[in-house]
Amino acid sequence: MNVPFLPTLSTFFIVLSAILVAIGWKLILNRKIEAHKKTMLAAAVSAVLFFIIYVSRTIFIGNTAFGGPENLKIYYTVFLIFHIALSTTGAVMGVLTINWGLKDKLDKHRRIGPITSVVWFFTAITGVAVYLLLYVLYESGETTSMIKAILGI
């Protein structure tokens, strides 16, 4: 098995962010507010590192197509669309949740925080599933550079 470095690294950061969110959740339940704040900010940094690696790889190297059986491609595609919608929702919710926490709008922060955490856990789980489907369970499909596709070179 030959797993590519950048997708593995980006997947590591998204998993790390989910683990840190879980730790942060436990900390706030134990009323350890400063530790919660630091842990959640570390989770956000980890998520941003994932995003930077993912976007950089997409722009400069490209996206990897599903290389599994043709009869599973439609299911993979639907699953991927679900993951993308979930991750986009989770990212927006995360920005709002962190912003409200840092601005001491704690009523809003407390209402959305648990929901954001759950959405982020599912984002991480589905992200790992996409990684496994693309690089571990099946032979990777073709990788096409976004720049090459746009410029036609």
Q: Would you say 4 and 62 are in contact if contact means Cβ atoms under 8 Å apart?
A: no
Contact 122, 91 (CB under 8 A): no
CA pair distance 125, 146, nearest whole angstrom = 26
Residue closest to 42 by CA, chosen among 30, 53, 31, 34: 34
- Per residue of the chain (153 residues), give pLDDT as tens: 677 999 999 999 999 999 999 999 999 999 999 999 999 999 999 999 999 999 999 888 888 888 999 999 999 999 999 999 999 999 999 999 999 999 999 999 999 999 999 999 999 999 999 999 999 999 988 888 766 655 655
Cβ atoms of 95 and 145 within 8 Å: the answer is no
CA–CA dist 10, 116 (Å, integer) = 20
| Residues of the chain above pLDDT 90, percent | 82
- In tens, the pLDDT along 20-59 reads 999 999 999 999 999 999 999 999 999 999 999 999 998 8
**Type and span of the H or E element at 84:** helix 73-102
The pairing of strands 143-144 and 63-64 is: antiparallel
The token pair that represents 82 in the structure block: 């679900």
